[in-house]
A = this chain, B = another copy of it.
Amino acid sequence: MLSAKFFKKIGMKTFVLCFVFACCSFSGWAQNNDSMMVKKIVDEVLINGHSYNNLRKLCKDVGQRLSGSENFLKAVQLTSKMMKDAGADTVYLQECSIPHWVRGEKEKGEITFKNGKKYQLHLTALGNSVGTPQQGISSAKIIEVKSLSDIPKMANELKGNIVFLNIPMNPTYINTFRAYGESASSRTRGPSLAAKYGAIGALVRTLGVNINDIPHTGVTRYNDSFPKIPAVAISTNDAEILSKELKNNQVKSVWFFSGCKILPNVIGYNVVGEIRGSEFPKEIITVGGHLDSWDLAEGANDDGSGVVQSIEVLQTFKSLGIHPKRTIRAVLFADEEMTGGGSDAYLSNAITNKEHHIFGLESDAGGFSPRAFGFDASDEKMKTIEGWKPLFYPYGVYEFYRGGGGADIGPLKKIGATVAGLMPDSQRYFDIHHATTDVFENVSERELKLGAGVMAALIYLVSEYGI
């Protein structure tokens, strides 16, 4: 460790620099006040915040919260109570229709090599996938696909065989979400597209950057015009092995079984907690994350962190006795992972009730150290927003970029809201995404709280000044 004396020196210097920077960039009393309020808010979360303890409860008392599961309903109850405890004026549930997919009997699979040896695959059924027959499915020809655009040219080979969608995430992208964005269609659309051309099952390379044995699930979507084929993710390491052995012509056959089923939709709920605005109660600011998770772990970062951070925003206003001028709603959305049923319900309610939504902020990129906010805003609104940027620099948020909101909050743009997203450091996200590793122990208390703190500060500014 670098010496204490040294850090005392540079720490102070950095702090003074940041403080001077934050102060100089503004003029006037109001903006100095903003700087002090932002500090007060972030300090409150770092010292007294409830988000980390709430996340522990959500992960350990409930655990996985798969859409349509009993656990999802338990999470609705628990987080409703958390909203009340946080001091929301009103807490209510918003009904919606959500999918009910069940994993069933544990999946398994293996490669048989031409020398007779077998290799047990590390695999997990994809969400929304159909299962295989009880005896599983197998094929002697495994058709490796490196790009979805190749599929239509491979109709002859695909027919009657298992497709192997081997589209790695690009490790050189520093924003790992960009790499995910480029490769995720292998999972979401790949199996159905291969089915169109006759494939009978799909092995999909896990969407993770590192090479290891942990398979990641996630939704696959069927086009109703084509047969629904069973689809599983295999680990990145297995994908490397399979690809190499196919190239070496050493693979005799691949077999896999999955026991999952798609059941009829059920009723789910968004959990909504509100602090009514004191001056402009009809101007609504939403802050949210999604309550559902995959079933392999606790959904600690996807999106337990967004859930507890959103509740923390309400908590912070109440703890500091801030009466927001505009109405603030924390919303825990149902069913982000499969069909967006919760987000649809929230939007359609807003339309039906002619609500005036001015701003929405989503946290669904993990509870890691915050680095940026993304905004989907008009040029003029972006000018106001840019003026706030120096307030966040001392807390490690150094970038305000164009483009924001996410799957749940993004749709509020349709009714005129400016939408935004918290963008934390993305290096670890795809280590835990949709995998057994997404547990409470992989969340850092300070990172989570720092994210909640800057979220609360941004919501404060919008509640104070509008947008």
Binding site for B on A (CB under 8 A): 1-15, 17, 39, 42-43, 46-47, 171-182, 184-185, 188, 209-210, 218, 302-303, 336-337, 362, 364-365, 369, 371, 374, 394-396, 398-399, 401-407, 410, 421, 425, 427-428, 431, 433-434, 444-447, 450
Contact = CB atoms under 8 A, between A and B. Distances in A.
Given A15-B178, A364-B1, A427-B369, A6 B396 contact: no
Contacts of A4: 180-181, 184-185, 188
Contacts of A450: 174, 427
Nearest to A450: B427
Contacts of A374: 10
A421 B172 contact: no
| 5 nearest CB pairs, A to B | A11-B178, A8-B181, A4-B184, A10-B403, A2-B406
Given A13-B402, A446-B176, A6 B407 contact: yes
Nearest to A364: B2
A285 B331 CA distance: 54
B46 A14 contact: no
A364 B174 CA distance: 22
Given A11-B181, A174-B394, A428 B401 contact: no
A369 B12 CA distance: 22
A371 B397 CA distance: 11
Most buried by B among A10, A47, A428: A10
A182 B8 contact: yes
A46 B177 CA distance: 16
A404 B9 CA distance: 10
A434 to B, nearest CB: 8
Contact of A8 (B46, B178, B402, B421): B178
A93 B26 CA distance: 55
20 contacts: A1-B336, A1-B364, A1-B365, A2-B407, A3-B410, A6-B407, A7-B178, A8-B181, A10-B177, A10-B178, A11-B175, A13-B402, A13-B403, A14-B403, A15-B173, A47-B172, A174-B394, A427-B447, A431-B444, A431-B446
A428 B403 contact: no
A175 B14 contact: yes
Nearest to A175: B11
Given A15-B175, A43-B172, 10 more contacts: A3-B407, A4-B181, A6-B410, A42-B172, A47-B172, A176-B446, A398-B398, A398-B399, A427-B447, A428-B447
